[in-house]
Structure 1
C-alpha cells in the first residue's frame, strides 16, 4: 500500500528538473489533481546529519520526523498523546486544599516530607491571561511552609502499567513559577514492578533539575526510559511508571505553582493536550469515584444531595452503587452518613441511623445491606454516600 499526498492546484517555479543533495527530484510542474507517492517505512530510516530532520510515513499510518539522535517524533499526534491524567488540574474530587500527605488533585499524590508542613491547593488562572498558553483554568500550588526531611517533599503521578514507554524516549513538560528553594528541584522517573510473587526492584532515573522564579516558565526534559527486558512484574496488577517532581535537598521551604503537565513519546514537547472534561473525569474515575456532587468534598454530614437511597419494603434491605466506570481494581469503599458524623445510613423519615454491612464489591459495583434484620421491613427511606478508591 502506498500513502500519497494529493497536491491540489499548480506548484509554480518548478520548470525542468530541479535537484539538490538529499532532496526529491521533480520533473516539470505538478498539475492539478496529480499526486506524489510516499512509501511506508516499517522501521525508521537511517539517521539524518546533525541539524537535519527526516520526514517519513510509518506503517501505522502516521507521519514522523527523525532527528540526528535517531529519535522518532510524531508530526501529527493523535488524541491521547499525554500519558498523564488530569495534567491541567481541572478535577479535584477529594477537595481543593490539603495539608496531609496523600492524594490531592485527582491522580496527583503529594508528600509533605518528614517533619514538614505543606498546603496543597487549587488555584485559578485569571481569564485571558497569556503567561501560560491554552487558557488553562487551574494550577496546583505546593506551599512548603516547613521544610521536610526524608522522605523529601514531592508531587507524583503513577502511570498504570510499568510497560508504559519502556525502552522508548519520552518528553516531560510543564509550566512553573513560585518562590524557589535554595536548591533546585529534581525530576525523577521510577519504574515500579508491583507486588505479589517476586517482582524486580524499582528502577529510578534522575531526569534532571530545574529552578524557577516568580514568572511562569516552561520546563522540558527528554529521557530514555529503561528497557524492562529480563525484569519480573508482580502478580497483583499494581505495577506503574512513577513521574515525580521532588525537592533535591531537605529542610527547605518553597512555593511551587505548576500547570499543564504532559508526558509524551518522542524528544519534542508538543502543545498541551486538553481533553474534553467528561473524558478526563472518566479517566480519573477509574481510580477514584464518589456519590457526592462533583464540587462537594467527601465528608460526613455533607448533605443528602446525590446520595444513594433504599426505599424500605418487605424484601432485603440493600443499597447498590454501580460505579461510573469500571475501576482499575476492586476498590476500597468508605461510607459517609449524609446527615451525621458517622458512617451509618440515615433514615431521612425519622432521622435515625442504621449500620450497613458490606455484601459484595468488585470493579463494577458495591452492594451494602442494613445490618439489623428487623430493619429489613422498615418502610423508610435510607440514604448513604460512598467513595471508591482504586489508586495505585
Structure 2
C-alpha cells in the first residue's frame, strides 16, 4: 500500500514496490486538477463554457462583427452570396452530456445558402488580449480544442488563428496561421489542432497595447480561404439543421488538456473587463441610477462606477426609455467623462433648480446601459 503525501494525497510507492503507471497517472490527474485557470497558458479563452450571455441568448441573422455570447464575435462575409436564416442561441445540454458543461453554442440554419463567392467566409471568433506577446514566438505552440456535433450530414467545421500586433502606427502586419477542418458527426466529439505560432523577433507592437491572438472557428468558406482550414474545397452551410459547439479551449503547448470550468463569478468578472450591461427589463426589475443633481436648468447629472474596470475607456450605449422619479416625466440620457472605471450620466430636463436632486429610472417597458471595451 503506497504512502500518501500530506497536501495533495499523491501516492508514493514504498521502497519495496515497483512504480505503477496507474499510480503515476493518478498523480498527474491530481496535479492537473489544481493548476489554476487564471494561468493564460492553461486556458486563454474566456467564457469557454458559454456560461455568460450579457447581450441576450438568441440572435437571428447577427450582423457582421456582432458579439453574441460574451467574448465571441460572429463575422459574416457572403461575397455576393445569400445566407440562410441563421439563429444563434444558447444551448442547454442534457445532464451529463458533456462532463463539466451545462451550456453550449448552437447555430440553426434553415438551408445551405447560395451563390457564395470565392472570398466568402463565416466564422466565430474570440480575440485573446495580449495573446500574441504571451503565447506566441519562435518554437511556441498552442492547441485549440472544442466539442462539436451537427445533425446536418456532411457539415464541416474548421479552426485557424490570426496573430496580430495591435493597431495604430507602423505596427507589424497581422499573420494568419492555417489550421484544419473536420466533418462533424451527429454525436458529440472532441476536436483539437496544434498550431505553431510565428516568431516575435523584429516585430513591432502597437504602443496602445492591443495586440491579440484571434481564435477563429469557421462554419463556411470560399476557395480563397479554404487553405485557412487545411483544405482546398469550399464549404457552405450544407443544409437545414443545427451546428453545436461546447468547451472551447486554447492552451499553450501541443496537448489538448482536460477542460476545467471556472466558477460563474470568475467567468463573469473576466467578461466584464470587455463588456458590461445594466438592465431594467420590466416593472419588477427597473434600472435605478444613483441620485442625480441638477447641474443647470436643462440637465441632471449622476455618475456610475463600473463593476469591473474596463480594458480601455469604453463606448457607452443605452436603449429603452428612462424617466425621473417621483414625477414620472420621461428623459433622454447621455454620457460624459467616461474612463475605464466609470462614466458620468446626464439626463435632459427643463426648468430645473440647480442643486435639486432626483432619481433617474428605466420605465416599466425596460431600459439598459452598456459599456463596451471589446478589442
TM-score w.r.t. the length of structure 2 is: 0.76
Match of 1:67 in 2: none
Change (3 A) 1:209 1:320: same
Match of 1:381 in 2: 359
Unmatched segments (≥5 aa) in structure 2: 222-233, 363-367
Question: Which residue of 327, 332, 338 corresponds with 2:310?
Answer: 327
Higher relative contact order (CA closer than 8 Å, sequence separation 6+): 2
Match of 1:138 in 2: 103
The CA deviation string for residues 136-187 of structure 1, in whole angstroms up to 9 with x for no partner, is 1110002233527444111101101221311211111110001347563221
RMSD of aligned Cα (Å): 3.1
Q: Where do residues 56-205 of structure 1 align in structure 2 (5 Å cutoff)?
A: 77-80=35-38, 81-98=42-59, 99-101=61-63, 102-114=66-78, 115-116=82-83, 117-127=85-95, 129=96, 131-134=97-100, 136-146=101-111, 147=113, 149=116, 150-161=119-130, 162-167=132-137, 168-180=140-152, 182=154, 184-205=156-177
Change (3 A) 1:165 1:113: same
Size of the alignment, in residue pairs?
A: 319
Change (3 A) 1:183 1:357: closer
Preserved contact between residue 172 and residue 262 of structure 1 (Cα < 8 Å): yes
The CA deviation string for residues 84-139 of structure 1, in whole angstroms up to 9 with x for no partner, is 00001001000001121311110011124423231110010122x3x4222x1110
TM-score w.r.t. the length of structure 1 is: 0.73
Question: Which residue of 209, 219, 237 corresponds with 1:252?
Answer: 237
Change (3 A) 1:312 1:209: same
Q: 2:141, 2:32 → 1: CA distance?
A: 12
Q: Where do residues 351-370 of structure 1 align in structure 2 (5 Å cutoff)?
A: 351-370=328-347
Q: Which has a greater percent of helix?
A: 2
Preserved contact between residue 154 and residue 184 of structure 2 (Cα < 8 Å): no
In the alignment, structure 1 residue 281 sits paired with structure 2 residue 268: yes
Match of 1:37 in 2: none
Residue 374 of structure 1 aligns to a residue whose secondary structure is coil
Preserved contact between residue 155 and residue 238 of structure 2 (Cα < 8 Å): no
Q: 1:314, 1:221 → 2: CA distance?
A: 58
